[in-house]
Structure 1
Amino acid sequence: MSDHGHRHHGHGPAGHAGHSHGVSADADRRWLGIALALITVFMAAEVTVGILADSLALISDAAHMLTDAAAIVLALIAMRLAARPARGGFTYGLKRAEILSAQANGLTLLLLSAWLAYEAVRRLIAPPAVAGGAMLITALAGIAVNMLATWCISRANRTSLNVEGAYQHILNDLFAFVGTAVAALVVVLTGFERADPLATLVVVALMVKAGYGLLRDSGRIFLEAAPSDVDPDALGDRLVARSDVVEVHDLHVWQITSGQAALSAHVLVEPGGDCHAVRRDLEDVLRHDYGITHTTLQVDHIAEQVLQVALHGERGAADDSAHCEAPHGPVHREEPHHH
């Protein structure tokens, strides 16, 4: 019990750092809240005008704004959940709530784009009459509202995949409104009403791109893939090249949530090596060169007969089964010429 108390006490500085991040999270929440209010008010007006002017591009923009609002609400809920301390069965806390939110954002973008693409094609075949003037005024107002909302969210912490999800939604919307304004101008000047569904298809393409990106990035985190900027094989080779290290296996690198990587590995050290010094050395390399601070390294001395196998480059099953029933992933061994 005393050990547990001591370890908890040791978390003091980290807890303090967490608190300072909490302040920035509050600021994030405020900026996201302002963007949400802007979008919700404008969306209600836009749906009304879209129905009266019979403009699919406006209705598609409004539908897109609805997903913007949902994205921000999800982001706010996820932030609140992620800030909760780890307890009970949730040993990482609820940090992955932000990734669930990013995944939900990506999915809504793709589903909505499918529906809008269908509607747009239908209107290309049989274009209804569109009130271009009302469409143009609303689209221009939409550009202004979205620029303001984009600016608000850019003030929040975009390294979070969750906030990035909300940001992508709104940035997409900005481009969509520019497209709608151009289409409205075409309708007003030439009476070419197919410009309205054509603008909708441009919006759809943007939505698919953003939705796919969010699903891909959040999917990587759910599948426990290594961070995209870390090559686990190169990392293993780097660790085994450090002094006294003979072998590294069961090496896992994953992300708890965006920007929070974790690593675990089993490290075998030369019979005369200092296990604690090796562990500190490897932790330093991981912290300074890879920015990975959440590490769990199991460091053991290698048995003499295993060392012989490792030196002669033979792959024997005996060395792995000595400690581990089924080794995970590749085994990184020191090259014989290091000796």
Structure 2
Amino acid sequence: MVGSPLHFGHGQNDRHHHQQAVTAGNERRIRLVFFFTASYALIQAVGGWLSGSLALIADSGHMASDAAVLLLALMAYRIARRPADSTRTYGFHRVRVLAALVNGAALLLLVAWIIWEAIGRIYVPVAVLAEPMLIVAVIGLGVNIAGAWVLWSGNRTDGNLRGAWLHVVGDLLGSIGAIAAAIGIMLTGWSILDPLLSVLVALLIVRSAWSLVRESIHILLQVVPHGVDVRAVEESLARLPGIEEAGHFHAWVLADETIIATVHVSPVREVDPFSLPSLVSSWLWEHYAIDHVTVQVDPPGQLDRAHQ
């Protein structure tokens, strides 16, 4: 091996073929919830106009924005279904990650808008007709419970679906808050309950929205997946039979839970170097569920020199 050219290879049990199946069930679920959300936004807008409730009209805008985000998620699924080509060899699946990032960012913007509006209403109270508000909010709660259940029954490792689910959960919490505010206003006449509960709901949304944004950014920046310790992997690989050295390990998430990795190894002298890719690939799948591994086999001693 000494002085020979570098060898490249993939493990024989490699489970990844640069394509991921776009789950038709997830797409169907988002399509159904999109129609739920868009229809209820229209009902809420009409109800707000007939009752003169600014709160309902504002929330209908919230629902309309969520419907637009769900439509974006549907478009992402359609794009992700396109096959890989010579310039996009991994396909279009990261479009779903971009859609999840937009979903999370939209939620954070929505939270900021809710808090801004709530502060304004605390200083300048807005009259709220509690009875029609309660009726429309109860209808909305039913619609959002149905939508959340439809999405929850899908594949929750799909960031795109998760982003849509978080939007619906935000709507569901908003409906609960609106019901509580309507009942409170009916019993006490305190219209300030509406903005106060709106702030509470917004704060409940922040954590999930930020988590979605952070995870999407980590995938796009090719951050090492959670639970994978680069140094520990290299040390463990170096202890496998037939391997003298291991280094230059890199791992990142393609989309959802599909992990890709590359690593350099050097064989023990007189060990067949072509046996190492399969060995390394099997070990990484068994311990870290890494789908796709590219192994570069270097001459003995070359990795040590590279680190000097």
Superposed CA offset, 1:99-131 (max 9, x none)? 000011011111122122111101011212110
Describe the shift of the 1:127–1:289 C-alpha distance in structure 2 as closer, same or farther (beyond 3 A): same
Q: Which runs of 5+ in 1 are unaligned?
A: 1-9, 311-318, 321-326, 332-339
Describe the shift of the 1:55–1:240 C-alpha distance in structure 2 as closer, same or farther (beyond 3 A): farther
Deviates more, 1:52-61 or 1:273-282: 52-61
1:174 aligns with 2:172: yes
Q: Give the corresponding residue for 1:111.
A: 109
1:45 aligns with 2:43: yes
Q: Give the corresponding residue for 1:163.
A: 161
The amino acid that maps onto 2:217 is: G
Aligned partners of 2:51 and 2:229: how far apart in 1?
54
Q: 2:66 aligns with which of 68, 89, 107?
A: 68
Please give the root-mean-square deviation of Cα atoms over the aligned residues, in Å. Answer: 2.4
Deviation at 1:45, TM superposition (A): 1.3
Deviation at 1:212, TM superposition (A): 0.9
Deviation at 1:48, TM superposition (A): 3.0
The amino acid that maps onto 2:160 is: N
The TM-score, its normalising length taken from structure 2, stands at 0.88
Deviation at 1:261, TM superposition (A): 0.7
Q: Give the corresponding residue for 1:288.
A: 286
Deviates more, 1:195-204 or 1:49-58: 49-58
Aligned partners of 1:222 and 1:99: how far apart in 2?
8
Q: 1:247 aligns with which of 239, 242, 245?
A: 245
Describe the shift of the 1:60–1:219 C-alpha distance in structure 2 as closer, same or farther (beyond 3 A): farther
Deviation at 1:53, TM superposition (A): 4.3
Describe the shift of the 1:235–1:56 C-alpha distance in structure 2 as closer, same or farther (beyond 3 A): farther
Aligned partners of 2:230 and 2:201: how far apart in 1?
38
1:203 aligns with 2:201: yes
Deviation at 1:54, TM superposition (A): 5.2
Q: Give the corresponding residue for 1:221.
A: 219
Deviation at 1:282, TM superposition (A): 1.1
Alignment of 1:20-59 (within 5 A): 21=21, 25-53=23-51, 55=53, 57-59=55-57
Superposed CA offset, 1:230-264 (max 9, x none)? 22222222212211222222211001111111000
Deviation at 1:88, TM superposition (A): 2.9
Q: Give the corresponding residue for 1:7.
A: none
The amino acid that maps onto 1:119 is: E
Q: Give the corresponding residue for 2:100.
A: 102
Describe the shift of the 1:273–1:167 C-alpha distance in structure 2 as closer, same or farther (beyond 3 A): same
Deviation at 1:51, TM superposition (A): 4.7
Aligned partners of 2:213 and 2:185: how far apart in 1?
36
Query: Identity rate of aligned residues, in percent?
Result: 33
Any conservation in 2 of the 1:55–1:131 contact (CA below 8 Å)? yes
Greater relative CO (CA pairs within 8 A, separation 6+): 2
Q: Give the corresponding residue for 1:151.
A: 149
Superposed CA offset, 1:295-317 (max 9, x none)? 101012304xx69xx6xxxxxxx
The amino acid that maps onto 2:71 is: V
SS in 1 for 2:298: strand
Deviation at 1:52, TM superposition (A): 4.8
Describe the shift of the 1:117–1:67 C-alpha distance in structure 2 as closer, same or farther (beyond 3 A): same
Aligned partners of 1:14 and 1:106: how far apart in 2?
28
